[in-house]
């Protein structure tokens, strides 16, 4: 890695806090510079949405950057709402996400982080995915970030909102995606 700084383009403070903490805690630590831009998101699969957002972000800022997209995927809906979870959460709220699944046998879900890295304008972004399995439950814990209170992570008995950030950052979809990004960036310096 030529420098241990990365520009993260996001309009979401919760994501920024976690990405910063995860990358600062790694070896070597990577410092995040943030650009608060709301990049329009095209419809498509999580991979298409992620790749296009990163391409546009790099063009807008004129330099290498990372972006990330977080999908919350319901087993009963074959992976939807997926990348559209933001709008479902905005319109229906946390209770509404639970109500959607009434009548379905499975409440299983997975959180998917697709982190995209662009080496600069005009280059094809690379994608790094991280997934954490769990289920959708009635809200528990602090209501400070997105759908954290309604996602109970597998084998923990806790919703993301019942974990402190350090605990979440050890098992989260975001941590798993960033581990892969880090491995890639380190391989570039060898
Ligand atoms: O500017 P960008 O980075 O796109 O930020 P965004 O808020 O638009 O983010 P997404 O498009 O990825 O939408 C994902 C939605 O899921 C929420 N979210 C993302 N990561 C989360 C996490 O780890 N825990 C809980 N909610 C999360 C987030 O607040 C959004 O409502
Ligand atoms: Mg967005």
* Rounded distance from Cα 122 to ligand 1 centre (Å): 26
Cβ–ligand 1 contact at 174 (below 6 Å): yes
Pocket test for ligand 1, best of 70, 71, 169, 174 (most atoms within 8 A of CB): 70
The topology under which CATH files domain 5-188 is Maf protein (3.90.950)
Query: pTM of the predicted model, to two decimals?
Result: 0.96
Cβ–ligand 1 contact at 70 (below 6 Å): yes
Residues of the chain with pLDDT under 70: 1-3, 190
Residue 181 near residue 118, CB atoms below 8 Å = no
pLDDT at 163: 97
pLDDT at 2: 46
Nearest alpha-carbon partner for 184 in 123, 126, 131, 113: 126
What is the tens place of the pLDDT at every residue in 109-127?
A: 999 999 999 999 999 999 9
Inter-axis angle of helices 13-25 and 173-188, nearest 10: 50
pLDDT at 147: 98
* Rounded distance from Cα 189 to ligand 1 centre (Å): 31
Residue 117 near residue 101, CB atoms below 8 Å = no
pLDDT at 186: 87
**Ligand 1 atom with minimal separation from the 172 CA:** 23
110 has binding-site annotation: no
Cβ–ligand 1 contact at 169 (below 6 Å): no
pLDDT at 3: 54
11 has binding-site annotation: yes
* Rounded distance from Cα 189 to ligand 2 centre (Å): 31
124 has binding-site annotation: no
Q: What is the 3-state secondary structure (H, E, C) of the chain?
A: CCCCEEEEECCCHHHHHHHHHHHHHCCCCCEEEEECCCCCCCCCCHHHHHHHHHHHHHHHHCCCEEEEEEEEEEHHHCCCEECCHHHHHHHHHHHHHHHHCCCCCCCEEEEEEEEEEECCCCCCCEEEEEEEEEEECCCCCCCCCCCHHHEEECCCCCEHHHCCHHHHHHHCHHHHHHHHHHHHHHHHCC
Sequence ranges of the domains in the chain: 5-188
Instruction: Please determine, for the modelled complex, whether the ipTM score is greater than 0.85.
Output: yes
Residue for token digits 């499975």?
106
Nearest alpha-carbon partner for 54 in 124, 112, 2, 5: 124
Burial class (CB in 10 A: 0-12, 13-18, 19+), 16: middle
Cβ–ligand 1 contact at 35 (below 6 Å): no
């Amino acid at each position: 890695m030529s420098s241990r700084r990365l520009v993260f383009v996001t309009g979401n403070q919760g994501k920024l806090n976690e990405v910063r903490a995860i990358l600062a805690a790694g070896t070597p630590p990577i410092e995040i510079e943030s650009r608060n831009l709301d990049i329009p998101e095209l419809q498509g699969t999580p991979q298409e949405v992620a790749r296009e957002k990163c391409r546009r972000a790099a063009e807008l800022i004129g330099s290498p950057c990372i972006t990330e997209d977080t999908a919350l995927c319901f087993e009963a809906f074959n992976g939807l709402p997926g990348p559209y979870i933001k709008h479902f959460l905005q319109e229906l709220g946390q209770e509404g996400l639970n109500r959607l699944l009434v009548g379905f046998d499975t409440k299983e879900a997975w959180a998917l982080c697709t982190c995209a890295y662009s080496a600069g304008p005009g280059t094809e972004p690379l994608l790094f995915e991280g997934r954490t399995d769990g289920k959708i439950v009635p809200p528990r814990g602090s209501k400070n970030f997105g759908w954290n209170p309604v996602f109970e992570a597998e084998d923990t008995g806790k919703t993301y909102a019942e974990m402190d950030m350090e605990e979440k950052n050890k098992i989260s979809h975001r941590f798993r995606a960033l581990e892969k990004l880090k491995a890639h960036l380190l391989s570039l310096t060898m």
